[in-house]
Amino acid sequence: MVLELQFVRKAYTQVLAHQMKRVLRVVRQYPHDRFDQREPACGQTARELAEGCVARLRRIDAIACGDIAPLPPLGPCTRGTILLDLETSYLSAHSALLSLPAAHWSEVVTTPPGLRYWMQARRGELLWLALREMARHQQHLASHMRCECQGDGTDGGARSHAVREAELDLVAAGA
Ligand SMILES: [Zn+2]
């Protein structure tokens, strides 16, 4: 069980780090003149989506810490603040995940706001759900940069999107 958890924890932190790199790259490189441009397909701006990435990272941190309190409303924030919030939230989540005792990974906890699947679930399952939500959100933000938003949170590259989802499913099977 302990060995299995080490594997799952390692896989989780690797996927999280990968998503984090993608978010940081998009937020840093996003064209300044389009950052507050509202996409007609979804009605959201890149700044709002980037702030949403911070909120999703904080949710992962909250699940890992056992603090499932509602998150404070965010934004509008400057790009520098968003980048700082992304990094501090990531470091906090990463540290919480590494120090999470094995027994707490399978502990049944209350589902945080925004993850409307069950009232309660195992912490490990909620962590994977929260990570999947973050991956989808990150892909939505990336689709804005490519001017390919389709309004439903998925990007224009349906095929590569499906592949990434399948990859995540494969790893999440270890949860
Ligand atoms: Zn959009």
Q: What is the per-residue pLDDT across 69-97, written as a single tens digit (0 to 9) for each?
A: 556 666 688 999 999 999 999 999 999 99
53 CA to middle of ligand 1, Å?
13
Ligand 1 centre distance from Cα of residue 139 (Å): 10
CA of 122 to the centre of ligand 1 (A): 31
Contact 150, 41 (CB under 8 A): yes
Comparing 9-23, 37-51, 108-122, 140-154, which segment has the lowest mean pLDDT? Answer: 108-122
Q: Where are the domains of the chain?
A: 2-29+40-172
Report whether CATH 1.20.950 matches the domain 2-29+40-172.
no
Q: Could you tell me which residue, 71 or 22, shows the higher pLDDT?
A: 22
Question: What would the pLDDT profile of 116-128 be if each residue is shown by its tens digit?
Answer: 667 888 999 999 9
Ligand 1 geometric centre to CA of 8 (Å): 32
